[in-house]
Amino acid sequence: MSSILKNLSSYDPATIPSAKGMRIGIVLSEWNPQVTHALFEGAVKTLLEHGCEEKNIIQSTVPGSYELSVAAQWLAEGENPDAIICLGCVIQGETRHFDFICQAVATGLTDLSIKFSIPFIFGVLTPENQDQAMARAGGKHGNKGVEAAITAIKMVALRKSKK
């Protein structure tokens, strides 16, 4: 569903499993910091609200969204997380650069999910402009960081239920 029809921060807390004991990595792009830091704050707040302990949230920062995949891999190799949330923002420009970056990150995170058998959450905004990005980073359409955290919790719980 398009975020224009849904608030990214809206969910029923009663339907969310406890995040107690979960180890969650967050890889954060420094590009578009006003946007990405808001996404990060939303994700961390949500994880804590659902029982994840602050000591179990492992953060790493990278220069841009393109670097999310390799940093997420390093985090998976070294920190043994249950899930990794990747947060970034790639704003459409006048060139095809946007297409290459978005495709590379989406493919990279999918490949990592399969390789490591843990969820690598795609928390990357792909708006047409800064206003759309801000609307999805705590503005009128909610916060994609909240949605990414909820997705991570649900996926970890699903994985644990299958063991």
d(CA 38, CA 28): 11
Question: pLDDT tens, position by position, for the chain (163 residues)?
Answer: 555 667 888 899 999 999 999 999 999 999 999 999 999 999 999 999 999 999 999 999 999 999 999 999 999 999 999 999 999 999 998 888 889 999 999 999 999 999 999 999 999 999 999 999 999 999 999 999 999 999 999 999 999 998 7
d(CA 96, CA 128): 13
Does 46 fall in a domain?
Answer: yes
Does 27 fall in a domain?
Answer: no
| DSSP category for residue 17 | P
Out of 37, 50, 97, 141, which one is annotated catalytic?
Answer: 97
Contact 72, 25 (CB under 8 A): yes
What CATH number did the domain enclosing 65 receive? 3.40.50.960
Whether the pTM exceeds 0.85: the reply is yes
pLDDT of residue 5: 64
Q: Does the annotation count 97 as an active-site position?
A: yes
pLDDT of residue 3: 53
Does 25 fall in a domain?
Answer: no
Structural domain harbouring 145? 35-158
